[in-house]
Structure 1
Amino acid sequence: MNRWVKVGAGILLLAAGLYVIVGEQMAGVSADAVVNAQVVTVRAPVDGIISLQVRTLGTRVTAEEPLGNITDPRPDELRLTDLRQTLAHAETDLRRIEDLINALVASRAAYAQQAEDYGVGRTRQVEARLAEATAALEAAQARLREADATMRRATDLSRQGIQTAADFNRARAGFEVGGQEVEVARNRLLYLTIEADAARRGVFLGDSYNDAPSSQQRVRELDQRIGELSAEVRERNRRIAQLEAAVAEERVRLARFREARLIAPAPGVLWEIMTGNGEYVRRAQDVLRLVDCTTTLVTASVRESVYNRLKVGDAVQFRLLDDGRIFEGVVARLAGSGAETIYRSLAVGPSAEHLKRFDVAVSVPALAADPELACAVGRTGRTVFAGRPLDALRRLMSQFGLF
C-alpha cells in the first residue's frame, strides 16, 4: 500500500512537472520586446542662424522648455518697404490735395468779397434809380394836375365861345399826355421796386446778365470743387489709416519672424541633433528630434501561431530584463510581418530578425507612469500574451526582491 502511495505521488509530481514545462513553453512569449516611443521633430519656424541651448544627446527636457533660438540677420523687408512707399505716396497726395483746397479757399474768399461788394453796389444803384423813378412819378403827377387845370379852363372858355377849337384840342392833348406820363412813371417805379427787392435778396435782375454776377457764380463753382476735394481728403485719410495699420502688422510679423524660439512640444529626451550650432537654417528645416515620453509603448515580435491568437485589447504582461517587476498592459496594435514603415516615427527601429516575425505593439500604462522608466527607450524585456503556470510564484518572488 505504501508503495502504491509513493507511485501515485511520483505520478502526480511527474504530471505537475510536465504541466509546468509544457505550460511555460506553450505560453505566448515574444522573441524580443523593446521599450519604444514616438519621435517628435522640431523644425525651424523661421530662416536664420540657430543657437542651441541643449546640445547633449539624451538630455531630459520638460514640456515648453526652451531648446534654442533662431535669429534672422537678413529679414525679408520687401513687403514692409512697399507698404512704406505706398504710405508715403498717399501722404504726399493728401498734402497736395490739402494745399489745393487751401488755394481754392483763398480764391473763394476773394470772389466772395468781390460778390459782396458787387451786391452792395448794385443794391445802392437800384435804390438810387428807385428814388429817381419816385421823383419822376411825382413830377409827372404835378404836370398832370397842371394839364387837368388847363383842360378845365379850356372847356369853360370853349363853352362860352371865347376860345377856339384848336386851343381846346391842344389843352385836351396835353391832359391826355400828362396822364400817360404818370402811368409810365408809375410802371417804371414798380419795375425798379421789384428789382430793388430782388437785389436785397442777392438776386440781380437785368436784360444783359443772369440772376447772379460772375464772381458769385465762381464762388459756387469753387464750393463744389472744394466739396469734391474734401471727399478725396477723407478717402485719403481712410487709406492712410489702413496703410498705417498694415505697416504696424508687418512690423509685428517681421519682429515675430526675425527671432523665434525652439520649444519642446512635450516632455522627452533629446534624441538627435540634425544641425550644428551657429548654422543658417531654412524655415521648416528639421533641427532636433525628441523622444516624446508621453507616448511610451512596447514593441515586440512573436511567432505566427501566437500572433493569430491575439486581438487588440488582450491582456499582456511585460517584464524588463534584469528587473523583477511585472507590468500589466494590453495589445494596442497588430501590424503583422514586414511592418517596417510603422517604425519611421518611433525612436527604435526593428531589426532584420524582428521583421521576419509578426509585430505587436503593447500599451503599458504603468510603465509610462513610472518616472524612471517612462523614457527608458531602448531597454529590452519579454512580453507574455497568456498566463503561465509559474506566474503566481514569479509575482510572489518579485515582491520579496528574489526575482
Structure 2
Amino acid sequence: MAQTCAPLPTPGTNGLPVGPAAADSGKVAEGDDSRARLERLKVEFEANAARPLPATAVPGATKAWRDHRRVIKAAIGLLLLIVLGWMPVRALLQATSTEAVVNAPIISLRAPIEGEIEQGPLAVTVGSELIPGQTILRIVNSRADHSRLADLRRLIDQIGNDREGILARIAELTALHDDLGNQVRIFQDGRVRQLTARAAELGSELTVARINRDTAAKALARVQPMVGSGSITAATLEKYTREAHVTAETYLTIEHRLAALNVELQAARQGTFIGDSYNDRPRSSQRVDEVSQRLAELKADLRERDARLATLRKELAEEAKLYEEKSAAKLVAPVASRVWEMLTAPGESVVRGQDLVRLLDCSAVVVTAAVGESVYNRLHIGQSAEFRLRGDTAAYAGRIISLTGMSAANANFAIQASSLVKEPFRVTVRLPALDLANECKVGRTGRVTFGE
C-alpha cells in the first residue's frame, strides 16, 4: 500500500527567514507539520485496516499441512510438558539423601616405645600417599635398659673361656692316655715274649727231666735182677731206686711249672698279668683307667657347657630382639592410606602409647549420608544404593552397611556423622567401585540414591 507524504520545507526556501527570528518561527512551523503528518498516517492506517482483504484461493494440501503442523506442535509441547514434569516428580518419588559426604576410617598410629622422633627415609607430610609397609617415622630410645643383655654376653664369654680350658685339658689327657696306652701295650708285648721264652726254657728242662727219668728207670730195671744173685749190694740198689724217684719227681715238677707258666702266658695275652710280686694290672694300665675316667668327666662337663651356651645364646638372641624393640621402632603404614593428621615432629620426645599419626584408610571408603525420616524407614542393611559426586555424572554403586538413625554412634571416621545437620537420620554406604578408582576423595559431597 503506497502512501505519499508532502516534502518538508527547508529554511531559506519559500520565503522563510533565515535569521534567529526566522529559526524560531521555523521550529514552530516544523512542529505543526510533524503533528499534521502523524494525523495523516493515522488516518491512512485506519483506512487500510478497514479495507477488506482480497479473497485468494488456498490449496487443500496447504490447509491440511497447516492443520497437521498445529497438531504436531501441540504434541511436542505436551511431550515436553510430560518430560519436564516427570523429572521433578521422579525425583520426589525416589529415596535420596539430603546430603552425603565421602568418608573413610581413621587409623591411629601410637608410639610403641618412648623416645625421640626421627624423620623417616621419605619426608612424609599431611596428605602424603602411603603404600603398605612404608616407613613414616622412627622412634629412638637412647636410654633403653641393656643391663640384661650385657650380663648374658659376659656369662657367655665366661662359659666360653671355661669351655676352652676344658678342651685344652681334654687334649692333654688324651695325649697322656695314648702314651700310657702305648706303655701298656709295650709292657704286654714284653711280658708275653718273656713268658713265651720261659715256657720254651721249661719245655727244654722238661725234655731233659724226661730223659733223666727214663734213664734212671732203665738203670733201676737193670740192677734189680742183680740183687738176687748178689752181684750188687743193697746200697747200690737203693741208690738207683732213689735216682729213679728223683728224676721222676723232677719231671713232674717241671711239667707243673710249665703248666702254670702257660696259664700266666695266656692271661698276659688277654691283658691280665699274673705274678707273685704285683697285682693283676701294671701301674701304667691303672693310670690309663684313671685318665679315661677323667676324660669322661671332662667330656661330660664340656657337653654341659655346650648345652648351657646354646641356652644362653638363645636367651641372648631374644634379649637382643627385645632390646632392639625397646631402643628403636618404626611407624609403618599398615594399608594403602593417606596422612590425615601429624601429631608430632622430628626431635620431639614421646611416651609409649601416645598418638603420633592419623591415617585415612583409602581401602575402605564409604559415604555417610543424612536422610529424612520417611526415607530412613524404607531402608535396610544390604540395600543397593548409588552415589554421585556433586558436579560429576559418574555413578558409583554400593550397598548400605550401617543404619544408625538418630543415635550418635561412635565411628572411627574422618568426618563424623554429626557434621551432617540437614536431617537427623544417618546412613552409611559402602562403595567398592570408589575403592577400585584408587582415589581417596574424602570430604567430597554428593547425593545418594537408594534402590528398591
TM bin (shorter chain): 0.7 to 0.9
> Is the 8 Å Cα contact of residues 268 and 293 (structure 1) preserved in structure 2?
yes
Contact conserved, 2:398 with 2:433, CA < 8 A, in 1? no
Q: Kindly tell me: are residues 25 and 211 of structure 1, through their superposed partners in 2, closer, same or farther at Cα, counting changes over 3 Å?
A: same
Q: 1:249 to 1:14 in 2, by over 3 A?
A: closer
Secondary structure at the counterpart of residue 351 of structure 1: helix
For the 8 Å contact 1:337–1:355, the answer to whether it is kept is no
Residues 263-304 of structure 1, C-alpha deviations (whole Å, 9 max, x = no match): 333444322223343223345543100112332222112122
Secondary structure of 2:415's aligned partner: coil
1:187 and 2:187 equivalent?
no
Q: Which residue of 2 aligns with 1:341?
A: 409
Partner of 2:153 in structure 1? 84
Q: Residue type matched to 1:333 in 2?
A: I
CA contact (8 A) 2:373 2:425 kept: yes
Partner of 1:316: 386
Shift of 1:349: 0.8
SS at match of 2:442: coil
> Counterpart of 2:417?
350
Matching residue's letter, 2:448: T
Equivalent residues in 2 for 1:189-204 (5 A)?
Answer: 189-204=258-273
Partner amino acid, structure 2, of 1:329: A
Task: Indicate the residue corresponding to 2:129 in structure 1.
Answer: 61
Distance 1:134 1:73 in 2: 93
Q: What 5-or-longer segments of structure 1 have no aligned partner? A: 388-403
Mapped partners of 2:407, 2:119: distance in 1? 35
Equivalent residue number for residue 287 of structure 2: 218
Residue in structure 2 matched with residue 175 of structure 1 by the alignment: 244
Pick aligned residue for 1:290 from 348, 351, 359: 359
Q: 2:429 aligns with which of 362, 377, 382?
A: 362
Partner of 1:274: 343
Q: C-alpha distance in 2, partners of 1:117/1:386?
A: 107
Deviation of residue 226 (structure 1)?
2.0
| Alignment match of 2:441 (pick from 376, 379, 387) | 376
Cα distance between partner residues in 2 of 1:56 and 1:202: 88
Mapping for residues 106-255 of structure 1, pairs under 5 Å: 106-109=175-178, 111-112=180-181, 115-116=184-185, 118-119=187-188, 122-123=191-192, 126=195, 129-130=198-199, 133-134=202-203, 136-137=205-206, 140-141=209-210, 143-144=212-213, 147-148=216-217, 150-165=219-234, 167-206=236-275, 209-230=278-299, 232-234=301-303, 236-237=305-306, 240=309, 243-244=312-313, 247=316, 251=320, 254=323
The answer as to whether partners of 1:87 and 1:244 remain within 8 angstroms in 2 is yes
Number of equivalenced pairs = 377
Structure-2 separation of matches of 1:181 and 1:202 = 32
Equivalent residue for 1:394? none
The answer as to whether partners of 1:339 and 1:355 remain within 8 angstroms in 2 is no
Q: Is the 8 A contact 1:327 1:366 kept in 2?
A: no
CA contact (8 A) 2:383 2:450 kept: no
Q: Give the superposition deviation at 1:44.
A: 3.5
Using the size of structure 1 for normalisation, the TM-score is 0.74
What does the per-residue CA deviation read over 1:196-223, in whole Å, with 9 as the maximum and x for residues that have no partner? 3543554322356554224313313422
Q: Residue 330 in 1 paired to residue 398 in 2?
A: yes
> How much has 1:353 moved relative to structure 2?
6.7
Q: Give the structure with higher Rg (CA).
A: 2
| 1:55-76 superposed Cα distances (whole Å, 9 cap, x missing partner) | 643x231314442222232344
Counterpart-to-counterpart distance in 2, 1:292 and 1:38: 5
Identity %: 34
Structure 2 segments unaligned to the other structure (5+ residues) = 1-70
Cα 1:355–1:273, aligned 2, differ >3 Å: closer, same or farther?
A: farther
SS of 1:185 mapped into structure 2: helix
For residues 20-99 of structure 1, what are the structure 2 equivalents within 5 Å?
Answer: 24-25=91-92, 27-52=94-119, 54=123, 56-57=125-126, 59-64=127-132, 65-99=134-168
1:305 alignment counterpart: 374
Structure with higher RCO (Cα < 8 A, 6+ apart)? 1
